[in-house]
Structure 1
Amino acid sequence: MTRRRIDRPASAAVLALVGGALGLLAASRPWVHAVVIDPVLGRTAVSASGRQAAAVVPAVALVALAGGIALLLARTIGRLVAGLLLVVAGAAQVAAAVGILRSPRPSVEEIVGRAVGAVGSSDVRVTLTAWPWLSVASGALVAVAGVWTVLRARSWSEPTSRYDAPSARTEQAGTEDPPDTWDALSRGEDPTR
């Protein structure tokens, strides 16, 4: 592929959309498993999904999806704003997932408390799954799409105005309605004059 084909808003939009979709997928899967060994209740296993462990991840993933679509539809200023939002959203997603990776126990304490009936259970074994790592990767994709957009948005071509509302200038130009043009042809008049 040529550099020209790769350096388009669609390429950054694809990165943002893929990152957002992977973020939603990761948030829907279990991130943390906890096994509680209680002298009275015995062994109890609970899990926390990405939504429960880091509630910001699905929200940020939706922002990434909206930002990816905005890159395709907006003009330069809108793309710059969307790019900045993508950088912030990607960084927030990475920070939330890394927070869980560094300290997973607080993310399941409430769930363990509901399952066992006590918040400060003594013997809790916590294990992580691979889904927080996918969330880190998807947040990084979103941030890269945002940085790319901020750096390159001024050089990208504007989207077509084919579906924009007609401006006052085109209405004043005296453009006729296509049915009027056909009626003029039917009457034998030359519509090009």
Structure 2
Amino acid sequence: MSILRRGRSICVLGFLLAGGVGIISSTQTWLTVQRADAGEPLAVAGADIVPLLAPLSLAVLALGAVLAMTGLVLRHVFAALGAGAAVVLILGTVPLIAAPPQSAVTAAVTDATGLAGEQAIGEIVARIEPSPWPSVALVCWIVLLAASVLTVVSARRWKTGGRRYRTASASHVHTAGPLDPVDSWDELSHGDDPTDRPR
């Protein structure tokens, strides 16, 4: 089955994956500051480096949760919002992977040491070491961007949402062909067994 025919499931999973990983990563250590004054290394969480990480990830997760149930116009609106969030998060994450700038940890170092000013903090920071989390997050943002583009391309092929609000007789009309995971979940939610259908 082509990607376009499976577009709804792939797009929903892409949004949910990116949002879920983003929320989890926001509480994890993204950068570790090794101090020149022989003090304890300072772990800096993702949310402290990229302030929009947690709220945007939560928004993406919410978009993914309702994407399959929306009409054509909202699918395109949600795709645009998802793509915008992906671009913002990519731009905020890429600089942290290879050579994280001192500005990324300035606030954390100030909170830990009480020092302020670029020169004073530069004397404290010996080096900044990135953890795997920025790379993991970047992959998820790319997946989100791809899912947003796929939503626009495949949205017209999705089955009409709102199955649970149809009449009881209509809800029992099945179409031939392979089961879509989202359709199967919808059928289970109103008491139908999607595996118990004529072959």
Please indicate the TM-score interval, normalised by the length of the shorter structure: 0.7 to 0.9
Name the structure 1 match of 2:17.
Answer: 18
> With structure 1 as the length reference, what TM-score do the two structures score?
0.75
Q: Which amino acid aligns with 2:94?
A: V
Larger radius of gyration: 1
Q: Which amino acid aligns with 1:132?
A: P
Q: Do 1:27 and 1:57's aligned partners in 2 also have CA atoms closer than 8 Å?
A: yes
Structure 1 counterpart SS, 2:161: coil
Distance in structure 1 (CA, Å) of the matches to 2:57 and 2:141: 8
Q: Offset of 1:91 from its aligned partner?
A: 1.3
Name the structure 2 match of 1:63.
Answer: 59
Answering whether residue 151 of structure 2 is matched by residue 149 of structure 1, we say yes
Alpha carbons of 1:109 and 1:75: their partners in 2 closer, same or farther (altered >3 Å)?
Answer: same
My pick for the range that moved more, 98-107 or 81-90, is 98-107
Distance in structure 2 (CA, Å) of the matches to 1:31 and 1:131: 6
Answering whether residue 133 of structure 2 is matched by residue 137 of structure 1, we say no
Name the structure 1 match of 2:28.
Answer: 29
Q: Offset of 1:14 from its aligned partner?
A: 0.8
Structure 1 counterpart SS, 2:164: coil
Q: What is the percent sequence identity of the aligned residues? A: 21
Q: Offset of 1:123 from its aligned partner?
A: 3.9
Structure 1: any 5+ residue segments left out of the alignment? 166-193
Taking only aligned residues, the RMSD between alpha carbons, in angstroms, comes to 2.1
Q: Offset of 1:164 from its aligned partner?
A: 6.5
Answering whether residue 103 of structure 2 is matched by residue 106 of structure 1, we say yes
Q: Which amino acid aligns with 2:44?
A: A
Alpha carbons of 1:19 and 1:6: their partners in 2 closer, same or farther (altered >3 Å)?
Answer: farther
Q: Which amino acid aligns with 1:72?
A: A
Q: Do 1:53 and 1:100's aligned partners in 2 also have CA atoms closer than 8 Å?
A: no
Q: Offset of 1:63 from its aligned partner?
A: 1.7
Segments of 4+ moved more than 4 angstroms: none
Q: Do 1:67 and 1:82's aligned partners in 2 also have CA atoms closer than 8 Å?
A: yes
Alpha carbons of 1:115 and 1:12: their partners in 2 closer, same or farther (altered >3 Å)?
Answer: same
Q: Do 2:18 and 2:143's aligned partners in 1 also have CA atoms closer than 8 Å?
A: yes
Name the structure 2 match of 1:79.
Answer: 75
> With structure 2 as the length reference, what TM-score do the two structures score?
0.73
Aligned mate of 1:46, from 16, 19, 42: 42
